[in-house]
């Protein structure tokens, strides 16, 4: 994990992307925000050796490949999984089965998307602050 690396957000819904963009702009972290709209584009992007993300935040319900399937593919690609990037799911669902399935896929967090700006901003800030202080095998790089 690189604390100054990109924040990768895999989200197909334009309204959700704009909402998250506004939240990150208001939090003013120095990290570049990289939105990936099509989940099929995530693997080639993350496989690039020059890409060293700080965190990956992914939706679950997406076309072509859902967040669970994408996470499984990422875990099977050593060029990506060896980067030790925290992987967080954001979803509109609090379905216990989805939460169980997410943690079975070795995610580091599952959060419900908030509908109001202050609550969503607080949630994102808490996620970011946790990972800014957490050590991972790649945090010293």
**Domain chopping of the chain, boundaries:** 7-133
Torsion of CA 6, 126, 140, 25, to 10 degrees: 30
Residue 72 has pLDDT above 70, yes or no: yes
Residue 2 has pLDDT above 90, yes or no: no
Tell me which CATH code domain 7-133 carries.
3.40.50.2300
pTM given for the model: 0.94
Confidence bin at 10 (pLDDT 50/70/90) = very high
pLDDT of 140 reads 52
Long-range contacts of the stretch 66-70 (C-beta < 8 A, 24+): 66/39, 67/10, 67/39, 67/91, 68/101, 68/102, 68/105, 70/10, 70/39, 70/42, 70/43
pLDDT of 1 reads 52
């Amino acid at each position: 994990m690189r604390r100054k690396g990109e924040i990768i957000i895999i989200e197909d819904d334009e309204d959700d992307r704009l909402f998250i963009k506004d939240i990150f702009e208001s939090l003013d972290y120095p990290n570049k925000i990289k939105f990936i709209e099509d989940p099929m584009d995530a693997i080639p992007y993350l496989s690039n050796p020059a890409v060293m993300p700080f965190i990956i935040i992914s939706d679950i319900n997406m076309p072509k490949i859902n967040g669970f399937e994408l996470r499984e593919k990422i875990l099977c690609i050593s060029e990506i999984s060896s980067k030790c990037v925290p992987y967080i799911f954001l979803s509109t669902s609090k379905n216990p089965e989805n939460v169980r399935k997410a943690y079975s896929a070795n995610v580091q967090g599952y959060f419900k998307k908030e509908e109001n700006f202050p609550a969503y901003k607080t949630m994102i800030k808490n996620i970011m602050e946790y990972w800014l202080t957490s050590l991972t095998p790649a945090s010293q790089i």
